[in-house]
Amino acid sequence: MSLTSLSVAVLAGGRSSEREVSLKSGASVVAGLTEAGYLPKLIEISKEGHWTLDGAPVALSPGQGLGDFDIAFPVVHGPFGEDGTLQGLLESIRMPYVGSGVAASAIVLDKILAKQRLEQEGIPQVDYVGFTEADWLSAKDAVLAAARCLGSPVWVKPARLGSSVGISRVDDPASEGLVDAITTALTHDPRVIIEASCPGREIEVSVIEKIGEDGARTLTTSSAGEILLPDAAEGEWYDYDRKYKPGGMELAVPANLTLAQATAVGETARLAFERLGCEGYARVDTFVDGDQVLINEVNTSPGFTETSVFSRLFGADGVTYPDLLSELVNSALDRHARSARFTF
Ligand SMILES: Nc1ncnc2c1ncn2[C@@H]1O[C@H](COP(=O)(O)OP(=O)(O)O)[C@@H](O)[C@H]1O
Ligand SMILES: [Mg+2]
């Protein structure tokens, strides 16, 4: 079978607040794969979690794969998609898929677990305090005291969301504003993280992985891009509107970095990808402050339209969108073929 006659199930939508973003990524991935010569179809996951293909329900059976599809390409962001649950389901039905596996997806989407892993690996990042709703209910004062040691401002976030949903910047952590921000974050997730603020520039880099015959892997990083917020007032940040409203952000690519900074960003991104156990692809977001590179977060299922940051960063290096998608499908198939050699 030639690669390009492969049928690809592009999974998009999903139950999280990033559903609309995912549907845009999904439509774009279908168009790009078609251009690359594949036979893709969109499987839409509804807000309630139902799967439909051309409007008809999709039946799933353990071990039976996914209809006649050869491979799945999940582009679902946030909880129930990017967090290992969808990946676990695909493993259970025995379906090869693009992107990170169960454990890395689960760890990376959880900002507390990801920070703990990066800390173990000695990869620089901002200081933070992670806690659960149960901790908050039983020890509010201890949580507030720990958060107030982080300086100001602080950033209060649901641990497992994306697109800046539920995040507050608290300029005066000694104020009631901190409690309000925690209360807001807790409406999205029983796990909350509070971070010290990083004054650095926001620099993002895309990473893709190739698997060799012998299982060795090569990580390729794109040019780094800088997130710029045109006409931003003092204190404005990269919030939901800035991310998705036309003209809200500008991507400067390649970012205006010194060679030493650009090299450090690439190395940090590769290290984070590898140590977090990511597979396939990811976008690594950093803060660059002088000669210091701190990881902000890694996204195992970043926005994936043709004009999303992930694709544009590789686009700047001359990798077209269809070629990028093709690489990811091929790399997932190589990994899957290799996994048949293991005895479980
Ligand atoms: N510790 C921090 N220091 C400075 N800015 C931050 C910090 N954390 C978040 N921000 C701002 O908030 C944005 C969203 O935070 P992020 O952790 O990337 O959440 P999401 O997963 O929703 O993208 C960042 O892109 C940045 O503009
Ligand atoms: Mg982010």
Residue 156 has pLDDT above 70, yes or no: yes
The bridge status of strand 201-211 relative to strand 281-289 is: antiparallel
Each residue of 93-104: pLDDT tens digit? 999 999 999 999
The pLDDT assigned to 4 comes to 60
Where helices occur in 187-258 by DSSP H, the ranges are 240-244
Task: State in Å: Cα 162 to ligand 1 middle.
Answer: 9
Helix axes 85-92, 102-109, angle to 10 degrees: 170
Residue 309, ligand 1, Cβ within 6 A: no
Give the mean model confidence (pLDDT) for residues 246-253: 94
Give the mean model confidence (pLDDT) for residues 320-334: 96
CA-nearest of 178, 136, 135, 175 to 154 is: 178
Task: State in Å: Cα 296 to ligand 2 middle.
Answer: 7
Ligand 1 pocket mutation pick from 296, 297, 301 by most atoms within 8 angstroms of CB: 296
Helix axes 321-339, 19-35, angle to 10 degrees: 90
3-state DSSP call for residue 7?
Answer: strand
Average pLDDT along the chain: 95
Catalytic choice (17, 28, 296, 299): 299
| 15 assigned to active site | no
pLDDT band at 16 (very low <50, low <70, confident <90, very high): confident
Report the run of H or E that residue 131 belongs to, with start and end. strand 128-132
Residue 205, ligand 1, Cβ within 6 A: no
| 244 assigned to active site | yes
Task: State in Å: Cα 185 to ligand 2 middle.
Answer: 15
Task: State in Å: Cα 63 to ligand 2 middle.
Answer: 35
Residue 198, ligand 1, Cβ within 6 A: yes
CA-nearest of 114, 80, 170 to 285 is: 114
Backbone dihedral region of 196: left (phi > 0), alpha (psi from -120 to 50 degrees) or beta?
beta
Residue 164, ligand 1, Cβ within 6 A: yes
Where helices occur in the chain by DSSP H, the ranges are 19-35, 85-92, 102-109, 111-120, 133-138, 140-147, 177-186, 240-244, 259-275, 309-315, 321-339
Q: Among residues of the chain, what percentage have pLDDT more than 90?
A: 86
- Domains of the chain plus CATH, in order, are 3-106 (3.40.50.20), 127-196 (3.30.1490.20), 199-339 (3.30.470.20)
Give the mean model confidence (pLDDT) for residues 174-196: 98
Length of the chain: 344
Residue 201's φ and ψ, nearest 5 degrees, are -80, 150
Q: Locate the ligand 1 atom nearest the alpha carbon of residue 198 and give its number.
A: 3
| 19 assigned to active site | no
The pLDDT assigned to 1 comes to 44
The pLDDT assigned to 17 comes to 84
| 152 assigned to active site | no
The ligand minimizing its distance to the Cα of 159 is 1
Give the mean model confidence (pLDDT) for residues 24-39: 97
The pLDDT assigned to 312 comes to 98
In angstroms, the CA 176 to CA 83 distance is: 32
Residue nearest to atom 14 of ligand 1 (CA): 164
Residue 281 sits at the vertex; the CA angle it makes with 336 and 77, to the nearest 5 degrees, is: 100
Report the run of H or E that residue 217 belongs to, with start and end. strand 217-221
The pLDDT assigned to 215 comes to 80
The bridge status of strand 217-221 relative to strand 191-196 is: unpaired
Give the mean model confidence (pLDDT) for residues 124-145: 98
pLDDT band at 3 (very low <50, low <70, confident <90, very high): low
Residue 140 has pLDDT above 90, yes or no: yes
Q: Name the residue with higher pLDDT: 304 or 341.
A: 304
The pLDDT assigned to 175 comes to 97
Each residue of 190-230: pLDDT tens digit? 999 999 999 999 999 999 998 877 888 899 999 999 999 99
Top-ranked range on mean pLDDT: pick from 54-63, 128-137, 156-165, 230-239: 128-137
| 283 assigned to active site | yes
Ligand 1 pocket mutation pick from 83, 113, 161, 164 by most atoms within 8 angstroms of CB: 164
The pLDDT assigned to 162 comes to 85
120 token code pair: 């173990």
